[in-house]
């Protein structure tokens, strides 16, 4: 999917949004891993915005149900038990931010459907530069209207974007 790239200006809304999203992600993943440690799991898996499984080295007991189709040692709380229900409340309280959350915080740039792909606003950090990527709809049958322009950014030519990437790679 084609994207347009924008350089976020220091102190601007786009830079603030990237910083906020990264903080939210760091806190949520730390909470997920802390819960896993508290429960005795050796690893915590996630799918999208949710925890999708806990990896245990041994059977964790009745409060857990095995995820047989997901691999050996992977479990989720068994909601048929009171302990499992209580654990599941802790699991559900952890919401890991995903790309659509970034687009919502940014105020746009989300859910562009192009061909077989769905695109959301994204970001990357190249050296000291914070770059926002906005998906562009590829519509051969109609108007390819201008994409959302992130606030407080400067548009980058594709050649400028790749030059920045190459400069930090070496």
**83 and 37, same domain (yes or no):** yes
**158 and 113, same domain (yes or no):** yes
Distances (CA, A) of 98 to 25, 52, 104, 125, 154: 8, 14, 10, 17, 24
Asked if 111 and 153 count as a contact pair (C-beta separation under 8 A), the reply is no
Structure tokens of 29?
């993943």
**82 and 105, same domain (yes or no):** no
Domain boundary among 93, 116, 131: 93
Strand order in the sheet with 50-55: 43-47, 50-55, 74-77, 64-66
**122 and 81, same domain (yes or no):** no
CB atoms near residue 141 (< 10 Å): 5
Helix (H) or strand (E) holding 117: strand 117-119
Q: How many CA atoms lie within 13 A of 134 on its CB side?
A: 23
Per-residue confidence (pLDDT) for residue 108, from 0 to 100: 80
Asked if 96 and 28 count as a contact pair (C-beta separation under 8 A), the reply is yes
Domain boundary among 71, 93, 115: 93
18 occurs within a structural domain: no
**107 and 71, same domain (yes or no):** no
Domain boundary among 32, 64, 93: 93
Q: 44 lies in which domain range?
A: 23-93
132 occurs within a structural domain: yes
Q: Looking at the 3D structure of the chain, how many domains does it have?
A: 2
Per-residue confidence (pLDDT) for residue 144, from 0 to 100: 53
Q: What is the mean pLDDT of the chain?
A: 90
Per-residue confidence (pLDDT) for residue 145, from 0 to 100: 60
pTM of the prediction?
0.85
**103 and 140, same domain (yes or no):** yes
Helix (H) or strand (E) holding 78: none
In the predicted structure, residue 115 carries a pLDDT above the cut 70: no
**139 and 165, same domain (yes or no):** yes
**112 and 144, same domain (yes or no):** yes
**108 and 151, same domain (yes or no):** yes
**51 and 88, same domain (yes or no):** yes
Reported as a single tens digit per residue, the pLDDT across 19-70 is 999 999 999 999 999 999 999 999 999 999 999 999 999 999 999 999 987 7
């Amino acid at each position: 999917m084609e994207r347009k790239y924008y350089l976020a200006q220091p102190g601007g809304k786009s830079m603030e949004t990237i910083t906020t999203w990264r903080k939210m992600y760091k806190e949520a993943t730390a909470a997920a891993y802390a819960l896993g440690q508290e429960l005795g799991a050796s690893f915590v898996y996630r799918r999208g915005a949710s925890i999708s499984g806990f990896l245990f080295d041994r059977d964790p007991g009745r409060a857990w149900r095995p995820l047989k189709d997901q691999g050996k040692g992977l479990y989720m709380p068994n909601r048929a038990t009171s302990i499992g229900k209580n654990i599941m409340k802790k699991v559900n309280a952890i919401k890991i931010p995903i790309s659509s959350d970034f687009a919502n915080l940014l105020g746009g740039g989300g859910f562009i459907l192009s061909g077989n792909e769905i695109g959301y606003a994204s970001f990357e950090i190249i050296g000291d530069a914070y770059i926002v990527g906005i998906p562009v709809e590829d519509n051969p049958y109609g108007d390819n209207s201008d994409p959302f322009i992130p606030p407080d950014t400067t548009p980058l030519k594709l050649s400028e974007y790749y030059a920045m990437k190459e400069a930090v790679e070496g």
